[in-house]
Structure 1
């Protein structure tokens, strides 16, 4: 992604300085972000309808889940079940809130805290939208050798856990970029997302194409959100008191 270099202009409101506005967090943005986001969304929908129309693919994918289900190991099971809880909606939202509040308290930077929160949540929002469109049934737990967290319903495609992990990885990298930790955070985020993807297959609640689509869905959400944030967020924050939007000088 390319980062816009144009600084946000001050509005001339009392208490608002150009220096403070220049520090407004600009998210990395693709050159043709709207087109790229639309193409990624189209790819997710196309993949979802394809697997729905080809039952043979679902059978082959279920064999992957079954193979993992027949080779569960205590340590890996503990890891997978911990991920199932940590990246679920309740714990996930709590994690986002803790990090966002930490940014707000330590950095005194409301805009950066909000940016982190909306980017991290965007994966879930995208996954829920595509779940409604595709409506793919989850793997039947009764067909698995050892279902660890039996779930049913038409919300298999894509995985919300994986979509959240991918979006969270982006959000953490956006916080760490231009620091000495940026590369480490990027690698750790990628490993985290892949590990969560593996765990959803290991637990037996998603098909392989579900987790693949999650990477596309979350990326689409982040690409579109970055473009919208850079275009509209500065104007919205202009209406807030300068005391709330001026970052702390501490680093």
Structure 2
């Protein structure tokens, strides 16, 4: 004798939720308590610094002296390091690096949400720097005034540095990935060192003033703070609306 038929519509599912299998539970970003105020204050600090260096007589000439001094003391090894940083932290290679890490998080770690969050955090530095560049419109150091211009650039896009802003945002993104693990302190120290080295390289190459690289730390931090608050506020609802299959690198048969 056979038992009563089971209604597939009422029987509990034996299949695990694909979204849980994919590890795509919502990944919250660290958030400042008053993130909107903190972000606004950081943005205001960048603008104030930018207007100051534009309006204070003699400031640009004094800062140019730093670039000129570094330009007179170039060495083969340091030049190779600086020019390598110039390429790696530029938009083309930088986007490739972000894409590689994001694809690893999605395809290997099966976490699309974390992959998107990482990509957004890492890219905020560039977005912030471009916005402030348009607003401040500071001219780059004149390469003709440098003893050894390594990568001559001109234009009104000196403030802040896109390379340094990207390095700072990337440091935040990598630390967010490592937080809570035994690698968190290593990621924090390495990220800070990376950002400082990139800042030095932009002065060494002679394409930015000291205040340009200093403002980059503020600009990128402002962008990360604001993104953290916006992500935690709006991303959960977006994630809930997405079908579970969209979190997997490929559909199952």
Would you say 1:62 and 2:35 are equivalent positions?
no
Where does residue 48 of structure 1 map in the other structure?
Answer: 50
Residue 23 of structure 1, CA deviation:
3.4
**How do 1:92-131 and structure 2 match up within 5 A?**
92-131=94-133
Would you say 1:191 and 2:197 are equivalent positions?
no
Mapped to 2, the partners of 1:101 and 1:22 lie a distance apart of: 14
Where does residue 229 of structure 1 map in the other structure?
Answer: 231
Mapped to 2, the partners of 1:244 and 1:24 lie a distance apart of: 14
- Structure 2 residue aligned with 1:209, among 184, 208, 211? 211
Mapped to 2, the partners of 1:149 and 1:166 lie a distance apart of: 22
**SS of the residue aligned with 2:151?**
coil
Where does residue 7 of structure 1 map in the other structure?
Answer: none
Q: TM-score, normalised by structure 2?
A: 0.88
- Structure 2 residue aligned with 1:164, among 166, 169, 173? 166
Mapped to 1, the partners of 2:32 and 2:25 lie a distance apart of: 20
Residue 245 of structure 1, CA deviation:
3.9
Would you say 1:80 and 2:82 are equivalent positions?
yes
**SS of the residue aligned with 1:55?**
coil
The structure-2 alpha-carbon separation of the partners of 1:17 and 1:159, relative to structure 1 and needing over 3 Å to count, comes to: closer
Where do 5+ consecutive residues of structure 1 fail to align? 1-14
Q: TM-score, normalised by structure 1?
A: 0.89
CA RMSD of aligned residues (A): 1.8
Where do 5+ consecutive residues of structure 2 fail to align? 1-16
Which protein is bigger by CA-based radius of gyration? Answer: 2
Q: Which deviations, in whole Å up to 9, do the C-alpha atoms of 1:229-249 show, x marking residues without a partner?
A: 0000111111211233489xx
The structure-2 alpha-carbon separation of the partners of 1:229 and 1:159, relative to structure 1 and needing over 3 Å to count, comes to: same
Is the 8 Å Cα contact of residues 24 and 110 (structure 2) preserved in structure 1?
Answer: no
Would you say 1:91 and 2:93 are equivalent positions?
yes
Q: Which deviations, in whole Å up to 9, do the C-alpha atoms of 1:93-125 show, x marking residues without a partner?
A: 011000100111121000000000000000000
The structure-2 alpha-carbon separation of the partners of 1:146 and 1:22, relative to structure 1 and needing over 3 Å to count, comes to: closer
Residue 192 of structure 1, CA deviation:
0.2
Total equivalences in the alignment: 233
Q: Which deviations, in whole Å up to 9, do the C-alpha atoms of 1:154-204 show, x marking residues without a partner?
A: 000000000000000000001111111111011000000000000000000
Is the 8 Å Cα contact of residues 122 and 167 (structure 1) preserved in structure 2?
Answer: yes
| Structure 1 stretches of 4+ moved >2 Å | 15-23, 243-247
**SS of the residue aligned with 2:78?**
helix
Residue 18 of structure 1, CA deviation:
8.8
Is the 8 Å Cα contact of residues 141 and 154 (structure 2) preserved in structure 1?
Answer: yes
Residue 208 of structure 1, CA deviation:
0.1
Is the 8 Å Cα contact of residues 65 and 201 (structure 1) preserved in structure 2?
Answer: yes
